[in-house]
Amino acid sequence: MKFPKSAWHWAASVLLSLLLAGCISIGGGPSPQFREVLLEGEGRDKFLMIDIDGPIFNTPLLVPNVGVVPGMTARVRQELELAFNDPSIRGILLRINSPGGTLTDSDIIFHSLMEFKKSKNIKIVASMGDIAASGGLYVAMAADEIYAHPTTITGSIGVMMPHLNYSGLFRKLGIKSDPVTSGRFKDIGSPYKPTDPMERAILQKLVMEQHKKFLEVIKIGRPKMTMAQIRGMADGRIFSAQEAHKKGLIDGVGYLDDAYRRLAEIAGFPVNRLVRYANIWRTGNNIYSNTFPIELFGN
């Protein structure tokens, strides 16, 4: 299995504001190399922590005069590529704190984790933070077991296609949209006109097909649940960690440390090191640390 080379995820606005304010100076020189950071533990065998932190998109962020922070999908694939070539990686601790994102990027990350797990014959345990809803829950379904923090909000199983209708405002302003199209439905979803029943039926069909895909992924991740049980909670509602556990959507309620210990148990490597891949931007080296990765210009 070969994962395309790429790099890291979206940037924190705090550091961006510091950069733009001139509080941080970055000179020239070679691009920083990814490196392994020890979070805790000892021994030869390692577990890799991967973060799904923030909206699940693959849109890169340009930091003027500094570099590019690649999208989350690219960053996760980069981490999996590095881990695939390391024979001492014995499992993944998937830390999720995300309200969701695009269905496509969520599905790519889910698929990448599933392929990695199958190819390496390893275990994945997911730990949910503040929120792991919609696409965050979708990605969690790649884990063998899922645990949520006592205050986690999860659920939001469903698909939404946003649509704005400015036609009423345009009428008040005396503005009329008059597009020239090659077919009846070429301007379907246009915000400049109301959606007629036939157009809505087409869009609704697309949404329900994507919703079906979401349900199938939940079934993969929660094989003991019936499809009827999954459909019963798939109306977009959100759940507390305790309710999600009661419904069988997750395996337990606990802290990140508990999920790490559980990974060691089910993977069969009680003596291990927990690591993550980092660049030069770091906020610590413990189990709750995050990374601010960036590609400098000139890569």
186 and 131 belong to one structural domain: no
The pLDDT confidence band at residue 16, using thresholds 50, 70 and 90, is very low
Average pLDDT for 214-229 = 97
At 66, which amino acid appears? V
Number of domains in the chain: 2
Asked if 195 contacts 203 with a C-beta cutoff of 8 angstroms, the reply is yes
At 272, which amino acid appears? N
DSSP, collapsed to helix, strand or coil, labels residue 213 as helix
- Whether residue 23 lies inside any domain: the answer is no
Query: Do the strands 46-53 and 35-41 form a parallel or antiparallel pair, or are they unpaired?
Result: unpaired
At 213, which amino acid appears? K
189 and 133 belong to one structural domain: no
Write the CATH number for 72.
Answer: 3.90.226.10
Q: Which residues are catalytic?
A: 134, 186
On the question of pLDDT at 204 being above 50, the answer is yes
- Distance, CA of 36 to CA of 279 (rounded, Å): 9
- Distance, CA of 55 to CA of 190 (rounded, Å): 25
- Whether residue 25 lies inside any domain: the answer is no
Residue closest to 11 by CA, chosen among 49, 91, 73, 68 = 68
On the question of pLDDT at 55 being above 90, the answer is yes
- Distance, CA of 191 to CA of 123 (rounded, Å): 46
pLDDT 10s digits, 137-166: 999 999 999 999 999 999 999 999 888 998
Decide which of 193, 225, 257 is a domain's last residue: 225
pLDDT 10s digits, 158-203: 999 888 998 898 889 999 888 899 999 898 989 999 899 999 999 9
- Whether residue 246 lies inside any domain: the answer is yes
- Whether residue 230 lies inside any domain: the answer is no
Domain range for 294:
1-17+31-156+237-299
pLDDT 10s digits, 27-37: 333 344 577 88
On the question of pLDDT at 282 being above 60, the answer is no
Helix (H) or strand (E) holding 147: strand 145-148
- Whether residue 269 lies inside any domain: the answer is yes
Residue 296 sits at the vertex; the CA angle it makes with 290 and 299, to the nearest 5 degrees, is 120
pLDDT 10s digits, 73-120: 988 998 999 999 999 999 999 999 999 999 999 999 999 999 999 999
43 and 147 belong to one structural domain: yes
- Whether residue 247 lies inside any domain: the answer is yes
Range in 6-10, 53-57, 159-163 with the lowest mean pLDDT: 6-10
DSSP string, 44-113: S-EEEEEEEES-B----EEETTTEEE--HHHHHHHHHHHHHT-TTEEEEEEEEEE--B-HHHHHHHHHHH
